[in-house]
Amino acid sequence: MEKKKKVGIITFHNSYNCGSMLQTYALSTVLTKMHIENEVIDFANEGQRKVYSIYSKEKSLKSLIKNVIIFFHKKKIAANFNSYENFKNKNFPLSKKKYVKCETLSDENYDIVITGSDQVFNITIADGDDAYFLPWVKKARKVAYAPSFGAKNIMKNTKDVEKYRAYLSKFDFLSIRENNGQKWIEELIHKRVPVLLDPTLLLSMEDYEMILDHHIKLPKQYIFYYAPGYHLEINKLVKKISKKYQLPVIAFNAKNFFVKGMNFSSFELASIENPSVYLALIKQATLVITTSFHGTIFSTIFRKKFWTIKNGAMYEDDDRALTLMQCLKLEERMILSSFDDTFDYLKEVDYHTYQKELIKEQKVAKEYLEESLR
């Protein structure tokens, strides 16, 4: 009888970010549905711990001002962070051992190690780490499932290109999440790899219903405004849309909300934050307005009316949302941040073509997983 394979997943599961946590949940759940034993390797470097700490650790005037603002709202932020921790511990099959440094990781308990999805190949962020390129994997099969460079070309952002060329060349199965990433890998290791769906799109609405918060109290109609960072121009657009349709706005991400002074706006803040509440807010919204890759994805999963607002980075190397929209034939749902009073912001989304394209892309992604795990 063939020995049952065990898979270790290494990704940004420790991020207090709904997209990061839900893509972790999705990949693990997909593997479980395939009857593959798996666990999430409980790795988080010091950089990640600093990014998701309540107070900023940087020594600058700007950080000092942020910390003073946060001080008055720390109870709310701490409650949210604790809520993310509870979600993680309840929904992820975590490894027994916790890891902080790449050097301490080992593949001795795994037949296969999967890195991804999320921005695990982004070497410019504080929580980026060579660990996600799997140099510590010596015996197990190395698989990359739809990782992202986060719009940062490795060749432009490191002095040690050869190191990353060697890392990427040693993968047994390598894929990527965006078109630019595919191009950059080809330039780096002269190999064309597939562009695959984010794992969140491999599950159905019903799968997410199982972890959705069914108890949070919400208005009958509202706009859910989800943006990892808030920009004044986009805030103004959301306010004008809110006024035009007489819809209240519920925002997310308390830390940025308070730091950006949005508590002095007409926007409300979600009473508590975690991925289960995030899913409920999207599902029940009259309209979703987002600048987020995963905000876009979950709007489509719940078949919502939504708009993804183009920001400056989307005109350069950042094709994360654009790759997704082109792939699923939803480019028309990307709009500029300028308000147009004659525009119908409550226009229905045509999900017919989307559904056909989604089925095709899901087939490609699942075949990749089946082959890489065989």
Q: Which residue has the higher pLDDT, 59 or 23?
A: 23
Domain covering 6-203+359-373, topology:
Rossmann fold (3.40.50)
Q: Locate 154 and state its tokens.
A: 């490795």
Distance CA 264, CA 276 (A): 27
In CATH, 212-357 is 3.40.50.720 = yes
pLDDT in tens, 97-119: 999 999 999 999 999 999 999 99
The answer to whether residue 314 scores a pLDDT higher than 60 is no
Nearest CA-CA partner of 92 in 26, 5, 45, 17: 26
- Sorted by where each begins, the domain ranges of the chain are 6-203+359-373, 212-357
6-203+359-373 against 212-357: fold identical = yes
Q: How many CB atoms lie within 10 A of CB 243?
A: 12
The percent of residues above 90 in pLDDT, for the chain, comes to 87
pLDDT, average across residues 44-55: 91
The percent of residues above 70 in pLDDT, for the chain, comes to 97
H or E element at residue 68: helix 61-71
pTM assigned to the model: 0.95
Nearest CA-CA partner of 326 in 216, 161, 178: 178
The answer to whether residue 312 scores a pLDDT higher than 80 is no
Burial of 108 (0-12, 13-18, 19+ CB in 10 A): exposed
Nearest CA-CA partner of 9 in 149, 120, 112, 121: 112
Sheet holding 249-251, edge to edge: 268-269, 249-251, 223-226, 287-290, 306-309, 334-335
Identify the pLDDT of residue 1.
Answer: 40
